[in-house]
Each structure stands twice: as structure tokens, then as C-alpha cells.
Amino acid sequence: MGNIFHKVLESYARKVEASEYTWFNIPEKEQKRLAAETVEEVSEAYAS
């Protein structure tokens, strides 16, 4: 379970870094969208 959380956090951080936002100015709506997208991607990868 810890590996999944770590992968989600790592992937989320890369997405924020690649976006126009930083950790300090990313809107809550965008945070939630990226988080949901990342959890879905990582879950699918681990389900395979």
C-alpha cells in the first residue's frame, strides 16, 4: 500500500511541475483533478 501512495505522490508532483502551477499557487479544483487522474493511472498500473 505504501508503494502505491508513494507512486501517486511522485506522479502528482511531476504533473504539478509540468503544469503552469507550483505547489503554492495551484487552485484546489486543479489539485483535485490532478489527484483523481493520478490515482486512476497508478491504480490501473498496479491492477495489471
pLDDT value of residue 2? 85
Read off the pLDDT band of 46 (50, 70, 90): confident
Q: Taking 90 as the threshold, does the pLDDT of residue 37 lie above it? A: yes
Question: How many angstroms separate the Cα of 13 from the Cα of each of 43, 48?
Answer: 17, 23
Q: What share of the chain is helix, strand, coil (3-state, %, to 5)?
A: 75, 0, 25
42: number of Cβ within 10 Å: 20
Instruction: For residues 22-47, give the mean pLDDT.
Output: 96
pLDDT value of residue 48? 76
Say if pTM beats, i.e. exceeds, 0.95: no
Of 15, 7, 17, give the one whose Cα is nearest residue 44.
Answer: 7
